[in-house]
Amino acid sequence: SQLQSQSLGTARAPADQTATAYADKRWLQRRVAIGVHSLAVLLMELQPSADAPQILVADALYLLGRVEEAYRLLLAIGPTSPRAPILARLTLLQLHRGFLYDANQLLKKLIQCGDTSCLRPLLAVASKKDRLLLQGYCHSASKRILEGLQGECTLRQAVAYLSIAIMASGCEAANSLMERARCYVLLGQRKTAVFDFRHKNGGYLSCSIVLRECTQDILAALQISMDAVTKDILSLKDKARKLVCDWLQQYCRTNLSEILAAKAVPCQEEELREAFLIGGVLMRTDCRDTRCHLLYVDILLAKGEIGTWLTDSQLSIISESQARVGVVEAWQQNYRGGGARLSKLTEKEPSTLDFLLTLIPPIHRKHMAQAAAQEAGSVSASGHWEQALALLTVAVRAAAELRLQFLRQRAACLAQLDLHERAVADLDRVIWSHDDPSDATVSGAPEEPHVWADDLCQRGRSLVLCSHEGPALDDFSRALELHRGQALLCVEAGLGRSRLAECFLRMALQHYGEQQLSKAWRLTESGLLVDSEHMELRRLRARVKREHCSPCIVH
């Protein structure tokens, strides 16, 4: 009340008022968090065996920015406690700390508990950045699940991830809502799907559920007489005709994508019979829509027809769509030209890029990926890093067994552009392949220790440069254990020994101040491996050794 009266009684410019209101809000939030923390600590003393006060203390510590303390407190809660609220908080904290693998394992356990509703009170106090992290991670996880075989079990698992993504977004994640609705339809829960469609589109797309159910009737009618179906569609009013054509186009696109996901091009004509029927009727009823021509062109490309069946108007459409020219060039073994044209889609239309790559036979796709990576090497030597990034994205998406190599190249390119968060994401995928060699999406043969150490150092460097020193030092420590020589070479070429040693010292001092002597010892040891003459690290190691002479430390 006092703050409100002060702000109302003082005349400020609009910009100043906004800045002051934001500062006042942050100040109030911190004061509330401090008060809650004090009360929760008192409750812990009064009820030492109760879990609720400890969870409340952890939430207050999180709000105060003391994430490590919150994490340790939650880990210390006994195994007999209700696990879902603790797992939810540990998941969010691990995402905040950058430990994506651990966050994924915790998220799986939370979903197995079957009680994700405990996320709601936590998300009410979580920072916007952490909510976005959780939302993006869960949506990406659902996409990975749906890329495989879509049985009932996997669909329900995807729904669980999507539900968390929607919850984290405040029910505003349009892509997740649409994807969950699709999963519900595949599970036969059409009424439930309608709710997601309505939430996303105010009820308009709920008509699509009805159209979906009658699609088989439309297809059956097309098999009898395309002329009759064309006449009936043309007799509809404009709005109804557009809705029917839009749905037929969407259905045909989905059907074509499913065929290409299951079978490499060129496809047999029988496999594309349904797509040709729908494409044909759309060309007759909605020929002014460029999308219909592109759809028909894509069907022809899926069959392997790259010229003989194309009309003059379709060839004109292809020349307007440079990406389709890239597909044709890849078929014609002009891999460099194809990769360059497709690279224009990497930032603005990544989903279109993924689809168009499926229109290229695997052997041509592999050669195009190699050509794109080689071209990226040439343009990066001239300092054109953004162009190299686009080409490497084509290489990553088009490659199969060589994807690890291209991910490393792209991570280096992203680091040159100071896009270190994205570089870390690429290196995460590379390093996961070391931890899980069975991951067929990015892995090949098991890598040598020096290669693994190099990957960890590259990720560690990017983590330091985007202010995630804790996870970064974990990476450097692991790299030093795996292959000290290679790790030191990477350090010298990157951050430099002196700077990295200072990072180890800073984090070791923090743990020493918190009386986490084992962690402080490990960090000083790793730091001295980097710079054995660093006097401050040597002094700190001596102090830690004096205070904590356990068998695991004294050598």
pLDDT digits (tens, 9 = 90+) for 454-481: 999 999 999 999 999 999 999 999 999 9
pLDDT of residue 11: 38
Place of tokens 């197995």: 112
- Which tens digits make up the pLDDT trace of 182-197? 788 778 776 677 667 6
The answer on pLDDT for 526 being more than 90 is: yes
pLDDT of residue 178: 79
Query: How many residues in the chain?
Result: 555
* Among 22-26, 77-81, 86-90, 113-117, the least confident range: 22-26
Q: Higher pLDDT residue, 287 or 537?
A: 537
Tell me if 95 sits within 8 A of 105, measured CB to CB: no
- Which tens digits make up the pLDDT trace of 13-37? 444 555 555 455 556 666 666 766 6
- DSSP secondary structure, 175-217, as one string: HHHHHHHHHHHHTT-HHHHHHHHHHHHTTTTHHHHHHHHHHHH
CB atoms within 10 A of CB 138: 28
pLDDT of residue 529: 95
Residues 6+ apart with CB under 8 A from 137: 95, 100, 103, 104, 107
pLDDT of residue 445: 47
The answer on pLDDT for 61 being more than 50 is: yes
Could you tell me the pLDDT band of residue 238, with boundaries at 50, 70 and 90? confident
* Among 157-166, 203-212, 234-243, 250-259, the least confident range: 203-212
Q: Higher pLDDT residue, 3 or 522?
A: 522
* Among 281-290, 295-304, 323-332, 535-544, the least confident range: 281-290
Mean pLDDT of 408-434: 93
Q: Higher pLDDT residue, 438 or 168?
A: 168
Of 102, 105, 81, 172, the closest CA to residue 132 belongs to 172
Phi and psi at residue 56, to the nearest 5°: -65, -40
The answer on pLDDT for 162 being more than 80 is: yes
Full set of structural domains in the chain with CATH: 2-133 (1.25.40), 205-320 (no CATH), 496-555 (no CATH)
Intra-chain end-to-end CA distance of the chain, in Å: 61
Axis crossing angle, helix 403-416 with helix 420-435, rounded to the nearest 10 = 150
For the record, the structure tokens of 225 come out as 């007489």
Place of tokens 């071209």: 375
The answer on pLDDT for 509 being more than 70 is: yes
Tell me if 487 sits within 8 A of 532, measured CB to CB: no
For the record, the structure tokens of 21 come out as 């209101």
Mean pLDDT of 56-81: 75
Cα angle 349, 351, 353 (rounded to 5 degrees) comes to: 70
Tell me if 302 sits within 8 A of 273, measured CB to CB: no
Q: Higher pLDDT residue, 232 or 52?
A: 232
Tell me if 548 sits within 8 A of 521, measured CB to CB: yes
Could you tell me the pLDDT band of residue 59, with boundaries at 50, 70 and 90? confident
The answer on pLDDT for 483 being more than 50 is: yes
Residue 202 to residue 195: CA distance in whole angstroms:
10
Summary mean pLDDT of the chain:
82
For the record, the structure tokens of 512 come out as 């020493």
Residue 491 to residue 176: CA distance in whole angstroms:
41
Q: Please, is 304 exposed, middle or buried when counting C-beta atoms within 10 Å of its C-beta (0-12, 13-18, 19+)?
A: middle
Residue 364 to residue 339: CA distance in whole angstroms:
11
pLDDT of residue 214: 58
Tell me if 148 sits within 8 A of 154, measured CB to CB: yes
pLDDT of residue 221: 82
The answer on pLDDT for 550 being more than 70 is: no
Of 128, 123, 88, 81, the closest CA to residue 108 belongs to 88
What's the one-letter identity of residue 362? P
Mean pLDDT of 494-502: 95
Residue 486 to residue 551: CA distance in whole angstroms:
30
Q: Please, is 389 exposed, middle or buried when counting C-beta atoms within 10 Å of its C-beta (0-12, 13-18, 19+)?
A: buried
Place of tokens 């001596």: 542
pLDDT of residue 8: 29
Q: What is the DSSP letter of 51?
A: S
pLDDT of residue 320: 58
The answer on pLDDT for 398 being more than 90 is: yes
pLDDT of residue 206: 42
